[in-house]
Chains A and B, each alone.
Chain A
């Protein structure tokens, strides 16, 4: 209770020494490292003292959200995962961009930076889910890259049995993990989590139940215990050559081709999400940069944000391992030669979908994830899981904040 009270009382110190300074909150990972390096370069060239606060994913959300709601102005620039944007941009907590972003940004990345007609952030990392598969084994058995989820199921069965491997591996731990791996299936089967107007749950539709049944079919070819898997376990199976296919994020591409970590160097191929009744769509997971309205250095903060997301800097960030959000950088010949998955990543970004744009997404994802995880663990029938999930989501949507 003391922690809760202390959190509600969060205050932050702020330098008033007259020296120009920026405090930047970044994700502790490759995305944040690139922004941190860029910030230090910008700080030295502009005479601004830079303080970078690196925080693990969950802590970044907690600290930034507390700072925004308590309006302490502890951070001048914040990094955020795109599903956080609707919550963080609420109540005027973010400062609007002083000018419109240019048209080189990929439209799907840019659309998640808007609240109404106003832009409050710029996209920094262009993440969209990809489909990873063993190109060597697909060739060995004369199979084309999977175009539909039925192809995936067929390949999982055929290659898995013949190679004594797990045909497919997915993450089904509750929360973000299972929801992220289920969304491409749900969309491909024609379902959705919430209705178009965002007012009611829609996951218990016939398409939703069928998508979940299909996920459980895929689960038969997944390693035992996948209902508790997160990204690490999924990638470990691919890297150890014990699984044939999975949905994954671009951040794992480098590891697949790193001989120090991988037994499958050059064997993993990447494609866009398979289709089924609808076209294949991957989940968008862009990282954005924004300026809190309580920042006391908004002018410098916006200068930095626009500088860090211009084409030249984004190319540098790409070389440091971040997928870009600008078309010109994705199509840059030297980068395409260096990063073989770039063309597929760009196609995936162009066809990607963001998670429902609601400030309650964290809560909805948690409730949805619980029932998806239960179904995958064999503790609940798919129809019942979807019915219960819809009930829980409706309760969340009806509840006043």
Chain B
């Protein structure tokens, strides 16, 4: 009996071919690289090394901290800004466009600009604070062991809060007005309307915004590479930065592939649990 090829297959075949060539095959190849040594023999050594690699452990913890902190602040600010702009009677488009400006800059350009802003002696930030009469001797921003991670998070918040704002603004505009009007007639307070109507109806946009941002944050590279290169010491070392160094500076593609695979699995697990958590609420 002949197997019939579905009529639409020819139309999707190019997309499948591109997906196989650019995503699936490289993924399989990277796993193979991670599971072979320099001589080509099968080995689990690259994954075993992960268990006692202190730099990887530090980078993993800092990636989680960076992701959690930046995501929380960006979400809170993005939601607040979206609600604020949505409540405006006039000039909504103007404010929306103004808020989006940081996001339009290439991350590399933003990072270079912030590197100059943060310079403890010549930067505009400490310069402004000094003009206000403040002592900036201890404000070393990205150059300080305890302040470096916070400074990098601040740059990410500045650049990517507009992204959350954009998605949540679109979500807010899609919410029908009737339930809100009915609640108002029934005497619901602003907070009650937000908690019981706006927030549940905004949930799909929230899930999307958190998912996209979280996946982007986990693989943070460009800003940290330019602002601190992972330092001082390992104060801002992240998994992506360590993978880059291992692959392209130390020429150890096997170990870098193993770390990439672990990062991929962790990201998928995190995304799935986030979606599950949002579904159950």
**Pair B230/A174 contact, Cβ less than 8 Å:** yes
**Pair B145/A379 contact, Cβ less than 8 Å:** yes
**Pair B249/A226 contact, Cβ less than 8 Å:** no
**Pair B249/A174 contact, Cβ less than 8 Å:** no
B251 in contact (CB, < 8 A): yes
A127 in contact (CB, < 8 A): no
With both chains docked as a complex, state the minimum distance between the C-beta of B49 and any C-beta of chain A, in angstroms: 8
| B-contacting residues, A229-259, CB 8 Å | 229, 233, 236-237, 240, 242
Chain B interface residue count, CB cutoff 8 Å, equals 47
List residues of chain A with CB within 8 A of the CB of B55. 367, 370
**Pair B33/A8 contact, Cβ less than 8 Å:** yes
A62 in contact (CB, < 8 A): yes
Q: How far is the CA of A87 from the CA of B248 in the complex (A)?
A: 13
Residue of A nearest to B148 (CB): A228
Q: How far is the CA of A4 from the CA of B250 in the complex (A)?
A: 13
**Pair B26/A242 contact, Cβ less than 8 Å:** no
A105 in contact (CB, < 8 A): no
A4 in complex: contacting residue of B33, B143, B148, CB < 8 Å:
B33
If the complex has contacts A4-B30, A173-B229, A366-B250, are A374 and B256 also in contact, measured as CB distance less than 8 A? no
Please tell me the size bucket of the interface on A: 35 or more
If the complex has contacts A1-B260, A236-B122, A377-B144, are A7 and B231 also in contact, measured as CB distance less than 8 A? no
**Pair A400/B33 contact, Cβ less than 8 Å:** no
Q: How far is the CA of A2 from the CA of B247 in the complex (A)?
A: 13
List residues of chain B with CB within 8 A of the CB of A377. 144-145, 231-233, 235
A225 in complex: contacting residue of B37, B120, B248, B251, CB < 8 Å:
B120
List residues of chain A with CB within 8 A of the CB of B144. 225, 227-228, 377
Q: How far is the CA of A223 from the CA of B260 in the complex (A)?
A: 38
Q: How far is the CA of A198 from the CA of B152 in the complex (A)?
A: 38
With both chains docked as a complex, state the minimum distance between the C-beta of B186 and any C-beta of chain A, in angstroms: 53
If the complex has contacts A2-B22, A224-B137, A228-B228, are A87 and B29 also in contact, measured as CB distance less than 8 A? no
Q: How far is the CA of A401 from the CA of B255 in the complex (A)?
A: 10
List residues of chain A with CB within 8 A of the CB of B148. 228
**Pair B233/A374 contact, Cβ less than 8 Å:** yes
**Pair A228/B137 contact, Cβ less than 8 Å:** no
Q: How far is the CA of A209 from the CA of B33 in the complex (A)?
A: 40
B257 in contact (CB, < 8 A): yes
A224 in complex: contacting residue of B54, B138, B245, CB < 8 Å:
B138
Q: How far is the CA of A377 from the CA of B245 in the complex (A)?
A: 22
**Pair B140/A233 contact, Cβ less than 8 Å:** no
**Pair B140/A224 contact, Cβ less than 8 Å:** yes
| B-contacting residues, A312-367, CB 8 Å | 360, 362-363, 366-367
**Pair A65/B143 contact, Cβ less than 8 Å:** no
A260 in contact (CB, < 8 A): no
**Pair A227/B231 contact, Cβ less than 8 Å:** yes
List residues of chain B with CB within 8 A of the CB of A168. none
Most chain A beta-carbon neighbours within 10 Å: one of B25, B29, B37: B29
With both chains docked as a complex, state the minimum distance between the C-beta of A43 and any C-beta of chain B, in angstroms: 30
With both chains docked as a complex, state the minimum distance between the C-beta of B73 and any C-beta of chain A, in angstroms: 23
With both chains docked as a complex, state the minimum distance between the C-beta of A184 and any C-beta of chain B, in angstroms: 21
**Pair A173/B261 contact, Cβ less than 8 Å:** no
* Shortest 3 CB-CB contacts between residues of A and residues of B: A228-B143, A225-B143, A225-B140
Kindly list 9 other residue pairs between chains A and B, CB separation below 8 angstroms, not including A7-B247, A227-B233.
A4-B256, A5-B26, A8-B253, A58-B249, A172-B232, A173-B232, A174-B234, A362-B250, A371-B233
A-B contact pairs, 30 of them (CB 8 A): A2-B23, A2-B27, A4-B247, A4-B253, A5-B26, A58-B248, A62-B248, A62-B249, A69-B251, A173-B231, A174-B229, A174-B234, A175-B231, A225-B143, A227-B140, A227-B144, A227-B145, A228-B140, A228-B144, A360-B250, A362-B251, A363-B250, A366-B250, A370-B55, A373-B232, A377-B145, A378-B145, A392-B54, A401-B38, A401-B252
